[in-house]
Chains A and B, each alone.
Chain A
Amino acid sequence: MDNASCTGIVTDIQRFSVHDGFGIRTSVFLKGCNMRCAWCHNPETISFEPELLLDPAKCIGCGQCDQGCYSGARRLVGREMSAEKVMREVLMDRAYYEGGGGMTLTGGEPSCQSDFARGLMQLARQEGIHTAIETNMSLPVDLLFPVLSLCDLLLCDVKLWDEQAHQKWTGVGNRLIRSNIQAADELNIPIVVRTPLVAGVNDEPEQIGAIAQFAAGLKNLLAYELLPYHALGTAKLIEGASPQQRFEAPDKQRILRLAQAAREARVPVRVAGVALEGV
């Protein structure tokens, strides 16, 4: 199958995405993830199957759910799309990609749909569009690196430093993640290491400091970015799934303390896209 006709399951395509890479970007959210992060803010991207996102407040009680819901109370997320079709939407914003923008594959974990992700990256490259990926780096090399090798920017997560804690909170250990990141450093593409800050999970200076030290060892590191938890995921109800666990959002003082801890590793630190000095 050629790149254009290969298909995958897409959760959403978000244009004018400004949090996932340089410039103006189109983020393509691929559906399905191998991790089960307790704080996930995109729980609708975890399953590989299309599913219904519920918003009971919008229900008008028409009783005709089976004939289609127009109120937004039941919204199907996840649709099979060809790479070519995705690219048509990505190309709609071509006029705005000048200055570093482009396409970001995210999810879910994009490399779970490795062939599709690779097809998308190749099509983007053929069009001269900057490519980025947001990945948890936890998949085997033979799935992950065919995609990474087509990226111009790597946004990768190290969610916790402690192996066991990582296993506990995400369902996956981090040993492979670390080695994958180090291997990816050899691809000589800019890397942003990111950590979601979740109170009671990883909001300790030792945790953050250790990850920052690790990041400092990468020769292509662009920045180490802290992403404070927000409870957006808990508002998303998925039919047949348990509601997301709610965590405390770290307060600003704590965020600053953790950012300072990270800076001790002599890496450029950002908090949710903002350089530390501006926080």
Chain B
Amino acid sequence: MAITDQERYRALKQTKLNHTREKCAQQGYMDADDYGSVPLPDGYKFVPIPPDGDFYGYAGWAENFEAFIDNHPVYVDRLELLCGRWCDKLTAYRKPDTDVPLEQRAFPGDRFPYDELLAPVYLYGLDTAIGSDTHFCSDYRIGLRLGWGGFLKAIRQGRVRHAQDPEKRAFYDAEEKTVLAIQRWIARHIAEIKRLLVAEQDPALRISLQKMLECNRNVIEKPASSFLEACQYMAWFNSVSRMYDRDGAGCDLDQILLPYYEKDIERGVLTRDEARFILANLLLVDTHYYQLSGCDLDGNDMTNELSYLTLEAAHELNIAANLTVRYHRNIDPDFFRQAVAYNFNDRNGWPRFSGHEGMMKYLNNQGIDQATALERIAVGCGWSAVPGRELPLNDLVKINCARVFEVALNEMMLSAAEAPKDVYYPAYEPSLERLSHLFKKHLARAVDGLAKCLEFHLSHMHQVMPELVMNLQMRHCIEEGLNVSQCAELYTLCVDGVGLGTVADSFAAIEQRVVVEKKLSWEQLFHALRTNFKDDERTRLMLKNSERYCQGGSLGDKWAEAVTQDFTALVRAQPMSEGKQLVPGWFSWSKTIHFGQQVGATPNGRGAYEPLTHGANPTPGFRRDGAPTALANGIAMVQPGYGNAAPLQIEFDPKISAEEGGIERVAQLIKGHLDQGGTLININVLDRDVLMQAHENPDSHPDLVVRVTGFTAYFCTLSPEFRQLVVDRFLDGL
């Protein structure tokens, strides 16, 4: 008897779980997105050229990518309809820059020195973009229109046009090598499909393998002409861009695929069930970020049948998926409700919700029109980009604001301690005003330091690490023979602050306990911080239980707004070279642990080196009732207002959905936040018992998926520190 769709879905999910176990065994804790990769086969080995990974520039990357992909295993599962999956990435073989311990990234500092940029990096705990990859969004419409053959043609035409320019010739040679290598990889898959087809006995799977074969015979060269081919093309692009340098930016999936879907349905060559299965397959191939729904320029809802089918596909598999529903005031209410309900039914952290109104604040940047702002979609962990046009470097550039605060406090207190005792020097007196002034001064220096790092990175990106895969789907790159860093239409560059809650609560605690109530002197406070509250738990608790951010109308809320205004103003005022501007956001990713390790005890009662607050979220335990509405209000008030995210991360107990009107309540919460200008909501629905069991023994629930920050991950793949973060947030939400 032929295999049924349901059996296939179940088998695919089981394979996925097995892969996760194997990857964990191979890689240990991953502390990152699941990415959809498959385990490395036994005996797999790649040696870069040269073997120490010191490769760079067009020729170096093309040569290595070619060798890498020619060596990379093929992946065809007879139960699937799409093929190709990645298990290794080229960036892992780059030579690390051991001279810069703050940075995890590889950058050839010996060739392009940047020592003079490092002082603020060390002082303020900056996360610079230097040496980083991707974090922009290419435009799949370009690739679907051209196909791999079309890319080659455009590359070769460009090479002829720019034959006199040696750097551009090198660019085109590298791009050509890249596309040819990808085509060879696809050809190896075609050979594997043929081999499987010969051996296949199941009639349904024979038909399916035949479809896979025909599809790939077309896709290897021609533009996609059917729904299946469009999805297969996207799957290839997703896999190769991951293998090249970990790109995960997707597209507005339900819009981009709609013409193919409608045409195939009309021709009678596709059913809803088949489309759902193909979409599930696409979600299985990789966890790229896709947006669903949204509205057009006139506010008309764009929810369509594919919006529903994509959610249904994710539901059938019920694995990690990075789907974002773009909420707007005219959204199809049934679709919106269904999207909320999936969070509770499937409990795997999808979909997320982005806010149309908040995201349209991208208009506040110079030179951005309505159409461009609308094009900017949620395609990253906590970020958005205009596909094919923008180089935002989102999520790469961060300021440890708690560290900036610490530097300011130290300067104030140490200068006061050193002041002559026999003469009155008002400037040395510690005060909230002086602390706030020093915080702004150091924050300005941190922003300036980051801006210089960004300029440096952009000026060398094409020489160090060109985006040979992503360039294919960016406007102007192939036409002009330039890397994306040289020809993006929009350089709206991200600067994220980290530790808003820690800083706001610290200011608030000082105002309440030192300035207003006078329970502590400045010196007592400073002593308590420097000794990490040793033998002084009462002082720590007094500070910790001050009026905190997200309580509603509290001192913490006041300071969170003030810090946001200062941060936003400084980032916006930072001069940049022509055509570039900085865009502020509050997004920590999972840097809360790393950045926390740079900061001693803080006046909000946080112990030395403990994690900072997450994204725009408050300190756990911010209110006794943990009211999600208070959380949502507080975070709506600290949106920087230029289109980048200050996400709301929220945890729910599944019981809420069982109650009459439970889903509607959560939907109302989402609406309420996003209508107030919120940009992004990440939701976890976790059963307390399951979570605690999995925390104790991660292997007890191998299929438990959580949204850690903007990304989802299998809980069992997270290190104990990351698991603890999720558990703390969850318990706080109860």
Binding site for B on A (CB under 8 A): 12, 14-16, 18-19, 22-24, 60, 62, 64, 68, 70-72, 88-89, 92-93, 95-96, 98-101, 270, 272-275, 278
- In the complex, what distance in Å separates the CA atom of A22 from the CA atom of B664? 10
How many residue pairs between the two chains, A and B, have CB atoms under 8 Å in the bound complex? 90
Tell me which of B538, B623, B629, B658 contacts A96 (CB under 8 A): B629
- In the complex, what distance in Å separates the CA atom of A101 from the CA atom of B675? 17
Given A24-B665, A60-B537, residue A15 in contact with residue B630 (CB < 8 A):
yes
Are B662 and A18 in contact, CB atoms less than 8 angstroms apart? yes
Contact of B368 with A by CB under 8 A: no
Interface 1/0 per residue, B326-363 and A, CB below 8 Å: 00000000000000000000000000000000000000
Main secondary structure of the interface of A (DSSP, over half): loop
Number of B interface residues, CB 8 Å? 32
- In the complex, what distance in Å separates the CA atom of A159 from the CA atom of B662? 26
**Which residues does chain B contribute within 8 Å of A278, judged by CB atoms?**
658
- In the complex, what distance in Å separates the CA atom of A98 from the CA atom of B628? 16
Contact of B154 with A by CB under 8 A: no
User: What is the distance, in angstroms, from B344's C-beta to the closest C-beta of chain A?
Assistant: 13
Tell me which of A68, A96, A270 has the highest count of chain B C-beta atoms within 10 A of its own C-beta. Answer: A96
Known A16-B628, A95-B675, A275-B660; further 7 A-B contacts with Cβ < 8 A: A18-B656, A18-B665, A23-B668, A92-B629, A93-B630, A95-B633, A99-B668
Are B553 and A92 in contact, CB atoms less than 8 angstroms apart? yes
**Which residues does chain A contribute within 8 Å of B667, judged by CB atoms?**
99
Are B668 and A101 in contact, CB atoms less than 8 angstroms apart? yes
- In the complex, what distance in Å separates the CA atom of A19 from the CA atom of B673? 21
- In the complex, what distance in Å separates the CA atom of A98 from the CA atom of B668? 7
Contact of B731 with A by CB under 8 A: no
**Which residues does chain A contribute within 8 Å of B669, judged by CB atoms?**
16, 24, 96
Contact of B149 with A by CB under 8 A: no
Tell me which of A16, A23, A96, A272 contacts B661 (CB under 8 A): A23
- In the complex, what distance in Å separates the CA atom of A14 from the CA atom of B633? 15
Across the A-B interface, the 9 shortest Cβ-Cβ residue pairs: A15-B627, A273-B659, A95-B672, A70-B541, A96-B672, A16-B627, A62-B538, A70-B542, A93-B629
Can you identify 27 A-B contacts, CB atoms within 8 angstroms?
A15-B625, A15-B627, A16-B625, A16-B630, A23-B668, A24-B665, A24-B668, A70-B542, A70-B544, A70-B545, A71-B537, A88-B553, A89-B553, A92-B553, A92-B629, A92-B633, A93-B627, A93-B630, A95-B672, A96-B629, A96-B632, A96-B668, A98-B671, A270-B660, A273-B662, A274-B658, A274-B660
Are A70 and B628 in contact, CB atoms less than 8 angstroms apart? no
Contact of B552 with A by CB under 8 A: yes
Nearest residue in A to B667 (C-beta to C-beta)? A99
**Which residues does chain A contribute within 8 Å of B545, judged by CB atoms?**
70, 72
- In the complex, what distance in Å separates the CA atom of A44 from the CA atom of B662? 28
Tell me which of B538, B665, B671 contacts A70 (CB under 8 A): B538
- In the complex, what distance in Å separates the CA atom of A270 from the CA atom of B659? 9
Interface 1/0 per residue, B649-691 and A, CB below 8 Å: 0000000101111101101110111011000000000000000
Are B656 and A92 in contact, CB atoms less than 8 angstroms apart? no
- In the complex, what distance in Å separates the CA atom of A272 from the CA atom of B655? 11
User: What is the distance, in angstroms, from A199's C-beta to the closest C-beta of chain B?
Assistant: 22
Are A60 and B665 in contact, CB atoms less than 8 angstroms apart? no
Are B538 and A64 in contact, CB atoms less than 8 angstroms apart? yes
- In the complex, what distance in Å separates the CA atom of A93 from the CA atom of B623? 15
Are A95 and B676 in contact, CB atoms less than 8 angstroms apart? yes
Nearest residue in B to A64 (C-beta to C-beta)? B538
Nearest residue in A to B658 (C-beta to C-beta)? A274
Nearest residue in B to A27 (C-beta to C-beta)? B625
**Which residues does chain B contribute within 8 Å of A275, judged by CB atoms?**
660
- In the complex, what distance in Å separates the CA atom of A128 from the CA atom of B632? 22
Give the residues from 536 to 553 in chain B that come closer than 8 angstroms, CB to CB, to chain A: 537-538, 541-542, 544-545, 552-553
Are A14 and B625 in contact, CB atoms less than 8 angstroms apart? yes
Nearest residue in A to B540 (C-beta to C-beta)? A70
Given A16-B669, A62-B537, A92-B633, residue A100 in contact with residue B627 (CB < 8 A):
no
Are B661 and A92 in contact, CB atoms less than 8 angstroms apart? no
User: What is the distance, in angstroms, from B525's C-beta to the closest C-beta of chain A?
Assistant: 14
Give the residues from 457 to 480 in chain B that come closer than 8 angstroms, CB to CB, to chain A: none
Tell me which of A24, A60, A93, A270 contacts B538 (CB under 8 A): A60
**Which residues does chain B contribute within 8 Å of A15, judged by CB atoms?**
552, 623, 625, 627, 629-630
User: What is the distance, in angstroms, from B684's C-beta to the closest C-beta of chain A?
Assistant: 16
User: What is the distance, in angstroms, from A100's C-beta to the closest C-beta of chain B?
Assistant: 7
Nearest residue in A to B670 (C-beta to C-beta)? A96
User: What is the distance, in angstroms, from A232's C-beta to the closest C-beta of chain B?
Assistant: 13
**Which residues does chain B contribute within 8 Å of A71, judged by CB atoms?**
537-538, 541
Are B665 and A23 in contact, CB atoms less than 8 angstroms apart? yes
Nearest residue in A to B633 (C-beta to C-beta)? A92
Interface 1/0 per residue, B538-576 and A, CB below 8 Å: 100110110000001100000000000000000000000
**Which residues does chain B contribute within 8 Å of A273, judged by CB atoms?**
658-660, 662
- In the complex, what distance in Å separates the CA atom of A272 from the CA atom of B625? 19
- In the complex, what distance in Å separates the CA atom of A62 from the CA atom of B537? 8
Are B538 and A18 in contact, CB atoms less than 8 angstroms apart? no
**Which residues does chain A contribute within 8 Å of B632, judged by CB atoms?**
96
- In the complex, what distance in Å separates the CA atom of A68 from the CA atom of B546? 13
Give the residues from 672 to 718 in chain B that come closer than 8 angstroms, CB to CB, to chain A: 672-673, 675-676
**Which residues does chain A contribute within 8 Å of B623, judged by CB atoms?**
15
- In the complex, what distance in Å separates the CA atom of A98 from the CA atom of B670? 12
- In the complex, what distance in Å separates the CA atom of A16 from the CA atom of B624? 12
**Which residues does chain B contribute within 8 Å of A98, judged by CB atoms?**
668, 671-672
- In the complex, what distance in Å separates the CA atom of A274 from the CA atom of B656? 10
- In the complex, what distance in Å separates the CA atom of A93 from the CA atom of B537? 35
Are A60 and B541 in contact, CB atoms less than 8 angstroms apart? yes
User: What is the distance, in angstroms, from A25's C-beta to the closest C-beta of chain B?
Assistant: 9
Nearest residue in A to B636 (C-beta to C-beta)? A95
**Which residues does chain A contribute within 8 Å of B538, judged by CB atoms?**
60, 62, 64, 70-71
Nearest residue in B to A272 (C-beta to C-beta)? B659
- In the complex, what distance in Å separates the CA atom of A98 from the CA atom of B629? 13
**Which residues does chain B contribute within 8 Å of A68, judged by CB atoms?**
542
- In the complex, what distance in Å separates the CA atom of A149 from the CA atom of B675? 33
**Which residues does chain A contribute within 8 Å of B553, judged by CB atoms?**
88-89, 92
User: What is the distance, in angstroms, from A43's C-beta to the closest C-beta of chain B?
Assistant: 17
